[in-house]
Amino acid sequence: MENTKLPQDIMAKSSQLLAALGLRLGAFDFIVDERGTWYFLEVNRTPSWNWMSKHVGEDIAEGIASELVREWSENI
């Protein structure tokens, strides 16, 4: 596993899938072959994200909290 930036088309398709499933958060699993072809494996709607923060070097909890605050402030 490694932290990588999603190609724009994969990001767009992932966002569309989240919307179609009615999800705001999902952990996507992909594999990328030696030619750079991306393959979707699954999306977990209740990801176990806390352990990933240390692995990928991103503060996922902070990102989730920021999104929740943003949504809350737009709806008050």
Length reported for the chain:
76
CB 43 within 8 A of CB 63: no
Q: Which of 52, 51, 44 is nearest to 23 (CA)?
A: 44
27/17: higher pLDDT = 17
pLDDT of residue 16: 96
- What is the reported pLDDT for 67? 82
Any idea of the CA torsion for 58, 64, 66, 69, to the nearest 10 degrees?
A: -170
* pLDDT tens per residue, range 25-75: 888 989 999 999 999 999 988 766 666 666 666 777 787 788 888 888 887
CA distances from 13 to 5, 24, 57, 65, 66 (A): 14, 14, 25, 24, 23
Residue 76 is predicted with a pLDDT of 73
Is the pTM higher than 0.85? The answer reads: no
Position with higher pLDDT, 13 vs 44: 13
